[in-house]
Amino acid sequence: MDWRPGADLSALKARAGMLAAVHGFFAEAGVMAVETPLLAPAAGTDPAIEPLQSRFTGPGHPHGLPLYLQTSPEYHMKRLLAAGSGPIYQVTRAFRDGEAGRRHNPEFSILEWYRPGFGHYALMDEVAALVQHVLGQVLPVRQCAYHELFDTTFGIDPLTEPTERLAALAAERCLGVGADLTLERDGWLDLLLTSCIEPELGQGELTFVTDYPASQAVLARLNPDDPRTAARFELYLNGLELANGFHELTDADEQRSRFEQDRTARRANGQPDIVSDEAFLAALQSGMPDCSGVALGLDRLLMCVLGEDDIRRVQAFPLDRA
C-alpha cells in the first residue's frame, strides 16, 4: 500500500507559502475572509458541472437529507453580499463529479472573491496583482476578446459562424476529430478553444480572455453595448486555465430564467435534474450589490509556481492516493 503523499515536501511547502501569500494579499486589501457550507441542499444547475451528492441522517432528518458537495461557494457568497457583507474572499474546497486527469481532481482548492462596486476590468487588475504576488514575479498582462482569439487563429467570428462550419473547422484543425463526433454549438467552440487556442494562451504572460459568447455567460451579465457577449473573463497562464470571473448578474428574474434554461439542457442531455436554489434567488430578489467576482484554481496556480504539469504532484493526496 503506497501511503505516501503524491506531492513532495517542497510542493507542500510551496502550497503553504501560496496560502500565506493569498491571505496576506486580502488582509492588506481589506477584504474579509468568510466560510460557507461545503454541504448544502442546493447546487449549481450548469450542465457542464456535475455535483457529487451526499446525505445527512440525524436530528430533524430521520429519512436522510440529500446534500450536494458544493461545486463552488458562489451562491452562498452572493447571499453574504446580499446581506451586506461588503468585499469578501474565501479559500475552500470544491467538488466536481466526472473530472479527473492531469489538470483535474474531483476535489480541489478554490479561491473565490467578490468586489462590490468593481466592474470586471477592475477585478481583472486585482486578479493579475494577486497572481503576481503569489508567483513573486511581474509578468506582462494582456487582454484579448474571445472573438479576437478565433479571428486570429481561424479567421472566423465565433458569434456568427454557422455551427456546421465550426464542425468542419474542428475536423480540419483539431487532431482526431472524426465525422462520428457530434456536439452542440458551444461544444465545437470549446473543442476549438481547448485544442487549438488554449495551449498557446498566456505563454509567459497573464492572458485574460474577455467577452465570451452570451450562450456561455453562465452567471455573468450581458455586455450592455453588445448583448451577444457576456461580461465574463478567464485567466490563462502557460496554457493553463486559472480563473473565471464575472461582472455578476444581479437580476433575479434573469437568473431564474437561466436556471430554467440549464435545467432544460440537463433534461435534453439526460443529466440529473437539479432544482433552482431558491435561497440564492431570494437573496438576489432582495437586492445584491453591483459587483464582480472571480474563482481561481489554487492547485493550478501552484502548478504554475512549481512549473508542474500534473495536478497530482501538487496535491498531498489526489484521488488515486486519497
Partner 1 sequence: MASYSTNEFKGGLKIMLDGQPCSIIENEFVKPGKGQAFNRVKIRNLMTGRVLEKTFRSGETVEAADVVERELQYLYSDGEYWHFMDNESFEQYQADEAGVGEAAKWIKEQDQCTVTLFNGQPILVDPPNFVVLEITETDPGVKGDTSGGGGKPATLETGAVVSVPLFVQIGEKIKVDTRSGEYVSRAKDE
Q: Tell me how far, at minimum, the Cβ of 47 lies from partner 1, in Å.
A: 9
- C-alpha 188/C-alpha 200 separation (Å) is 18
116 - beta bridge partners?
291
- C-alpha 56/C-alpha 1 separation (Å) is 31
Cβ-based nearer residue to partner 1, 18 or 240: 240
Binding site for partner 1 (CB under 8 A): 46, 48-49, 98-104, 174-178, 181-184, 186-187, 189-191, 193-195, 198, 216, 218, 234, 241, 244, 297
Q: Tell me how far, at minimum, the Cβ of 138 lies from partner 1, in Å.
A: 26
Residue carrying C-alpha cell 440549464: 262
Cβ-based nearer residue to partner 1, 174 or 281: 174
Q: Tell me how far, at minimum, the Cβ of 37 lies from partner 1, in Å.
A: 21
CA of residue 258 relative to chain centroid, distance: 17
Cβ-based nearer residue to partner 1, 8 or 310: 310
Cβ-based nearer residue to partner 1, 211 or 234: 234
Q: Tell me how far, at minimum, the Cβ of 177 lies from partner 1, in Å.
A: 5
Q: Tell me how far, at minimum, the Cβ of 9 lies from partner 1, in Å.
A: 28
Q: CA-based diameter of the chain, in Å? A: 61
**Extended strands (E) in the chain:** 32-33, 39-40, 52-58, 61-69, 88-95, 107-116, 141-145, 206-213, 222-223, 226-237, 240-247, 291-297
Query: Quick check: 168 and 177 in contact, CB under 8 A?
Result: no
Cβ-based nearer residue to partner 1, 86 or 239: 239
